[in-house]
Structure 1
Amino acid sequence: MSKRLLGVFSGALSGVMGLAGVALAEAPRVATDIAPVHSLVARVMQGVGEPALIVRPGASPHGYAMRPSEAQALEKADLVIWVGEALAPWLEGSIENLAGTARVIELLDRDETHVLPLREGVAFAASGEDESGHEHEGHEHEGHEHGGHDHQGLDPHVWLDPENAHRWLGLVAGELAAIDPENAAQYAENASAAQAELDTLMAALKAGIAPVRDLPFLVYHDAYQYFEAWAGLHADGAIALGDASNPGPARVAELRDMAQRHNIACVFSEPQFDPRLVERVFGDVAGHGVLDPMASGHAPGPDLYADLMRAMARSLTDCLGTYR
C-alpha cells in the first residue's frame, strides 16, 4: 500500500473511531442506587449505554459508604434513579451534594409506584388489612405524600412488586428520551420488549406459586409484602423488627410459639444474616429457606431483575412445597 493510500486509510479509521467516541460520550450518564433498579434501567438502555450502580451487590442500602468511583459516577450523572430516602436515607444528601445538576427520579415519589404501609408487630394482619382490620385499596399511597418526601411508615421494598417494575420500564424510557431524544425510539422499543418479557415470566411464576399460596411462613425481616400481595401469599410474621436489627429473646420466643401453634411451614432467612438463628430456634418446628430481596448472588445487569423474581419464586415453592 502506498504511503498516500495508507495515510487516507489511517485518517478514515481515525475518523470512524472518533465518531464512535462521540456517540459513546453522548449516551446519557445514569446512576442508580440498588441492583434491581439498575437492572431495569440497564435493560431500557441496552444498545445505547450502561448505567452506573452506586450500592455494590451484597451491601445493605440502608447504611452505605460509597467508594470514590461510585461517588464519581454520581457526580457525573445526567440522571439519577433511586428508590428513595426511606430505603437509603444517606443517599439523599449525597445526591444533593454531588449530583446537583442531574435530573433525579425518586421512585417512591412517583405516581407510577404502588406503595404499602409498613407492617407492625410479631404477627402480621391478614393480607390487604391494617392492624385494625381495615382494608387498603389497591395502589393507595398510604403514609406517602408526593412531592413532600413524607415517607414515614412506608415500606420501601417497592421493587419486589413486578407491576411496579413494569411501570418503571416505561417511566425510565420516557425520562431517557427527554434527555436523549436521538435514542428515544430505542428506549421505547427496549422498554416495550422488557415489559412483554416480564409479563410472560410473571404469569409462569404465579402459576408455579399457586399450589403453595395458602401455606403459612415466617420471614427474617419484613421485606416481602409487595411480592406477597402480587403472588397471593402472606407471611405470618417477621423475626427481626427492622432491616438492620437483631431480634430479642422475647420476640424469638413469641415467634417460636406462634410457629408451633400456627403450623408454620417454613422460616426464611437472608444471605446477609446468620442462618444459625433460624436453624437453632425453628429447626425442629418448620422448614428453612433463604430469600434474597437484593439478588446479591446475581451479576448486575439487564438480566438480574428476572433472575431475582425467579429465585424468589423458586425459594418459596421449594421450601413450602416440601411441607405439602
Structure 2
Amino acid sequence: MQQATNTKWLNRMVFAGTLLTASISTIASAAVLTSTKPLGFIASAITDGVTTTEVLLPDGASPHDYALRPSDVQKIRSADLVIWIGPDMEAFLTKPLQQVDEKKKIQLAELKSVKPLLSQGNVDHDHDHESHDADKHEDHDEHDHHHGSVDMHIWMSPEIAKQSAIAIHDKLLELMPQNKDKLDANLEQFEQQLKQTKANIANIMHPLRGKGYFVFHDAYGYFEKTFGLTQSGHFTVNPEIQPGAQRLHNIRTQLVEHKAVCVFAEPQFQPAVINAVAQGTNVRTGTLDPLGSNIMLGKDSYMRFLTQLSQQFTSCLE
C-alpha cells in the first residue's frame, strides 16, 4: 500500500516537473516576429540571449506587394510580439494584426517617440501621366506607401532605429521581466554601437557630399538626411510601378544636367531601364540594398546594415 502511494507521488512529481520544463521551454522559445528584415536587425540586438527573432517576409520579397500565406498567419498568431511599421508600408498586415492583442504588437510609426522624427515623402506625379494600363496601376493606392505623405522607410534613420530599440526593450520588459538585466545590457550596447557606427559613417560620407546621383526607388531619405548626401532624383516612389518612356527621357536629361555621378539599382528590382538610361553617358551604375538581404540576424546586424549601405554608396560615388 505504501509502495503504491509512493509510486503515485513519484508519478505526480514527474508530471509536475514535465509541466515546469515545458513552461520554461515555452518561455525560452518565445519569438519576436518582425515584418521585414531591417526591423529584425533592430529587434535581434535587443533579444540577443533572451529570446528568438524571426522575420515574416522571406529574402527577396518586398513589403509593397507581399501576399500572406497560411503559415505566415500562424506565425503572427503564435508570436509573443509582432513588430511592424504600419499600414502605409505593410498594408497586408492590417487585417491579421487586428486579431492580435495590443500588448503583443508594436506599430513603430505610431510611437510617440517616433512620430516627431517622421519625414514627408517625395511627391512623384510623373508616373501618373505615363501609362494608364490597368495592370500597372491596379492597387496603386494600396501600395503607394508615401505618395505625397510620410516616408515610411523608417529603418533608414539611425535615430528612429534607436527609438524603436527602446520601444522593443520596454515591451519585452513587460512580457518577460525576469530578463531585465540582459535586456537593459542589450539596449545599452545597441545605443553605444549605434553612436560609434554613425560617427564612422559620417567620416566616410563627408567627402561624398554634393555628388549627385539617382536611385531607382525613393527609399533612402532618412539615411541621406542623416549623413548629408545629395540625391538628384529617383526613378519611382513605388518600386511596383515601372517608370514610363517620358519619365525615363526626363531622367536621362537630368542625369546630364545635374552631372550625376551614379545611378543605383536594387537587388530586389534590377530593371534594365537603369542600364539603358545610363548608356552613352559617363554615369556609373551601382546597387543599394535597402533591406540588407545578405545580412544574417544578430546583435550587430543593424550596424552591419548601415555600414554596408554606406559602402555601397561609396563604391559608386567615390
Give the TM-score range, shorter chain.
Answer: 0.7 to 0.9
Within the alignment, does 1:192 sit opposite 2:188 as a pair?
yes
Partner of 1:202: 198
Q: 1:47 to 1:60 in 2, by over 3 A?
A: same
Contact 2:46 2:183 in 1 (8 A): yes
Give CA-to-partner distance per residue, 1:140-172, whole Å, 9 cap, x none: xxxxxxxxxx99711110100011112221221
Gaps of 5+ in 2: 1-12, 127-145
Offset at residue 30 of structure 1 (A): 2.2
- Which amino acid is 1:207 matched to? N
Within the alignment, does 1:116 sit opposite 2:119 as a pair?
yes
Partner of 1:43: 45
Partner of 1:237: 233
Write the distance in 2 (CA, Å) between the matches of 1:295 and 1:90.
21
Give CA-to-partner distance per residue, 1:242-274, whole Å, 9 cap, x none: 231100100110010011011001010111222
Partner of 2:209: 213
Gaps of 5+ in 1: 1-11, 124-149
Offset at residue 296 of structure 1 (A): 1.5
Write the distance in 2 (CA, Å) between the matches of 1:14 and 1:212.
65
Percent identical among aligned pairs is 28
Partner of 1:32: 34
Contact 1:81 1:106 in 2 (8 A): yes
- Which amino acid is 1:177 matched to? L
Match of 1:90 among 83, 92, 99: 92
- Which amino acid is 2:46 matched to? V
Q: Secondary structure at the match of 1:236?
A: strand
Matched residues, number: 284
Offset at residue 70 of structure 1 (A): 2.4
Contact 1:118 1:153 in 2 (8 A): yes
Q: Secondary structure at the match of 1:56?
A: coil
Write the distance in 2 (CA, Å) between the matches of 1:198 and 1:17.
42
Write the distance in 2 (CA, Å) between the matches of 1:42 and 1:188.
14
Contact 1:122 1:255 in 2 (8 A): no
Q: Secondary structure at the match of 1:154?
A: coil
Q: 1:257 to 1:178 in 2, by over 3 A?
A: same
Write the distance in 1 (CA, Å) between the matches of 2:170 and 2:110.
16
Write the distance in 2 (CA, Å) between the matches of 1:252 and 1:88.
28
Partner of 1:181: 177
TM-score under structure 2 length normalisation: 0.82
Contact 2:38 2:292 in 1 (8 A): yes
Partner of 2:286: 289
Offset at residue 204 of structure 1 (A): 0.6
Within the alignment, does 1:73 sit opposite 2:75 as a pair?
yes
| 1:245-260 superposed matches below 5 A | 245-260=241-256
Write the distance in 1 (CA, Å) between the matches of 2:250 and 2:311.
28
Partner of 1:130: none
Aligned-residue CA RMSD (Å): 2.6
Write the distance in 1 (CA, Å) between the matches of 2:236 and 2:103.
37
Contact 2:42 2:165 in 1 (8 A): yes
Give CA-to-partner distance per residue, 1:63-118, whole Å, 9 cap, x none: 21233332212111232211111111110111113x24652210000122221111
Partner of 2:257: 261
Offset at residue 228 of structure 1 (A): 0.3
Q: 1:70 to 1:121 in 2, by over 3 A?
A: closer
Write the distance in 2 (CA, Å) between the matches of 1:220 and 1:302.
30
Within the alignment, does 1:56 sit opposite 2:58 as a pair?
yes
Give CA-to-partner distance per residue, 1:194-222, whole Å, 9 cap, x none: 11112111211110111011101110011
Contact 1:53 1:70 in 2 (8 A): no
Contact 1:78 1:101 in 2 (8 A): no
Offset at residue 275 of structure 1 (A): 4.3
Partner of 1:126: none
Contact 2:239 2:269 in 1 (8 A): no
Partner of 1:280: 276
- Which amino acid is 2:194 matched to? L
TM-score under structure 1 length normalisation: 0.81
Give CA-to-partner distance per residue, 1:214-243, whole Å, 9 cap, x none: 101110011000000001112111112423
Offset at residue 292 of structure 1 (A): 0.9
Offset at residue 14 of structure 1 (A): 11
Contact 2:123 2:148 in 1 (8 A): no
